Structure 1
Amino acid sequence: MTTQFEKQSSITRRSYLRAAVGAAGLAAVGKSAAATDKEYDVIEVPAGQTHSVNLGDGEVLENVLFDISARNARIAVRARANDWTIRNVGVRGRWDGTRNSVHPFVLEVPDPNAEGRVENVHFGTTTASNADYANGPGGPYVFPGHAGHITFDRVYLQHFQDNGIYASPPGLPGKGRGGTVTIENCLAYRCGTSNFRLGSTGSELRNCVSVEGHRGFWGQLNETTVVDCDFIDNNSDIAAGESQYATGRDAEITLENSRWVGEELTHTSGARIVGESEGKPKVRVPAGCPETPRQAAAAQGGDE
């Protein structure tokens, strides 16, 4: 399977530099460009260090390629604020270590009237385990305190053991604030516990492709929707519910115009999967996804 991801929008390099001021672990920042590409920064993280970027209200992280090829090099992008944007970002190299619940992106929009966007991001990484279900890091994580709306648009993920996009916590009873998440035009390959995971009522998976995950899509909590998606060779293509939480015992997934041939799984007797497969799943990359981390950083492959 080729490594493809998503693209979008234009921005200024200044936005990235402003967001990254004071970040730890910066070894080298180089400027790179190709014909008709957008200019982007290359950040090579030194061995054993973590390069951190923290976004505040209204800030933008964009046009950057993080290289974590050095031993135990990592990134930590944190956006726990309102009206932020992460776009045109590539990550290349190996994520060393097998500790769970380590996520390169941690996200939250605390204001119910605000939003965040993750656009054209490519995780061209491998992990120490490199398995579809084992101990290891996770992809982007959405905090329980998320109350607004987050959109993931044209994002490619691979080989994250603790879920690909892990966005169910806002639906947790008690501490979850019910913020919604839309995942669209994305591709996830061989992630566990699931390739895509949602759990707040009103959250959606749209025009996405899920390949060889432990669960292709997990609607863990509440009521979620899947539209025009393809699920290919996952251990369970569609999984609904969670016995541990009240909001998961009667969880419901509604599927429209989507395709799968594998297993459907309900974790509790009250959980429901509504809808039937519309035929053979399509092995495809959603339109506009860049093929490499470099293409993501350069804003190639999608609508301008």
Structure 2
Amino acid sequence: MAQNPRTSETDSDPTTGRNSGFTRRNYVRSFAAVATATTALGGAGAVSAQDDYEVIEAQGQTITIGAGETWENKLIDMTSGQDIVITARDTDWTIRNIGFKGKNTSGTGTATFGVADVSGGTSTVENIYLGDGSSTGNTNPNGHGQTAFWVAPDHSGHIDFKNVNIQNFADNAIYGSAPGTNGGGTIHIDSSFAANCYVSHFRLATEGSKVTNSSVYVDSKDGYVGRGIWAWAPGPIEVSNCQIEMNGNNNAIVAGANGKPTEVTVTKGDYDDKAGIVEHAGSNVKLGDNVGTNPKAVMPDGVPTSPEEAASGGSK
């Protein structure tokens, strides 16, 4: 199946771009192909042991996490110049204590993580370091830059993201709007940090989805200047106790896309009023009385600041 053209930077139809079917690089190389292309848990190409984590060299492999499984304490070495894809598309799975060392320069334009809970359960992503980012390169001229996390359209359960650090990615940091077109599953992003990514940093669509206790930072000097938080239909989306520091770049909060409105409720926290709020297609962003306009993006407690810290499950 051919790569779909870029649609994510404009308010285009989510059912004709990457949000349709599997898409997003055919749902990170398609789960139909995983049976023959997957490296099983515990064996992922070049692996070396550390005291408290494994080192896995990126070699173009795909790793799959199944129902009820936990994948943890891995340091992914991206200095090989190759890509790696981690998929979790079952239920009640956990991904935690994963650090990526080096920028993704593979140019594949996939998603590093392709995830969904498709059986109505609750899955978890926690203590992840993706702070070294990705390059702008892409071997497919009609393709996309690298996305950190892609949540598939058929996500019908719930995913908790906590203590995640994503910086300098050439596409969305957490691309979680696709379930709004199909599965309707919810996403909670808590105590996480995203900075200098393209398109958007936190992107959600379904009722019950929210961003809490998190920060977004965009600096025109480095990286990419995507939207802070982008809410798609149907919503509503909650934003609470967040710091959205954009330094006047792009927009802090964008509501609505594809001619379809949504609603965003913002309580506590601060946003950059120079970057501002955009309400498309009759969308509504409701600001609480305790929402300010002097954001100071900080690294929330518990967010790993290095690959080794993430992989070991704590500060070194």
1:232-247 mapped onto 2 (5 Å cutoff): 232-233=245-246, 234-244=249-259
Q: CA deviation at 1:264?
A: 3.0
Find the partner of 1:53 among 63, 75, 91: 63
Structure 1: distance between partners of 2:154 and 2:276: 30
Deviation by residue 1:142-192 (Cα, 9 ceiling, x = unmatched): 0010000000000000111220000111112xxx11100000000001111
Q: CA deviation at 1:231?
A: 0.5
Q: CA deviation at 1:279?
A: 4.2
Kept in 2: contact 1:289–1:301 (CA 8 A): no
Question: Does the alignment pair 1:280 with 2:294?
Answer: yes
Alignment RMSD, CA only?
2.0
Question: Does the alignment pair 1:289 with 2:303?
Answer: yes
Structure 2 match to 1:94: 103
Kept in 2: contact 1:209–1:285 (CA 8 A): yes
Gaps of at least 5 residues in structure 1 are 1-17, 34-38
1:1-304 mapped onto 2 (5 Å cutoff): 20-21=41-42, 23=44, 26-27=45-46, 29-33=47-51, 39-45=52-58, 49-71=59-81, 73-100=82-109, 102-112=110-120, 114-129=121-136, 135-172=144-181, 176-212=182-218, 213-221=225-233, 222-233=235-246, 234-244=249-259, 249-261=260-272, 262-275=274-287, 277-301=291-315
Aligned pair count reads 261
Structure 2: distance between partners of 1:191 and 1:250: 24
Gaps of at least 5 residues in structure 2 are 1-38, 138-142, 219-224
Please, what TM-score do these two structures have when normalized by structure 2? 0.78
Q: CA deviation at 1:32?
A: 1.5
Kept in 1: contact 2:251–2:278 (CA 8 A): no
Q: CA deviation at 1:61?
A: 0.4
Please, what TM-score do these two structures have when normalized by structure 1? 0.81
Of structures 1 and 2, the one scoring higher in RCO (CA 8 A, sep 6+) is 1
Q: CA deviation at 1:266?
A: 3.0
For residue 136 of structure 1, what is the amino acid of its counterpart?
Answer: G
Q: CA deviation at 1:128?
A: 2.0
For residue 251 of structure 2, what is the amino acid of its counterpart?
Answer: S
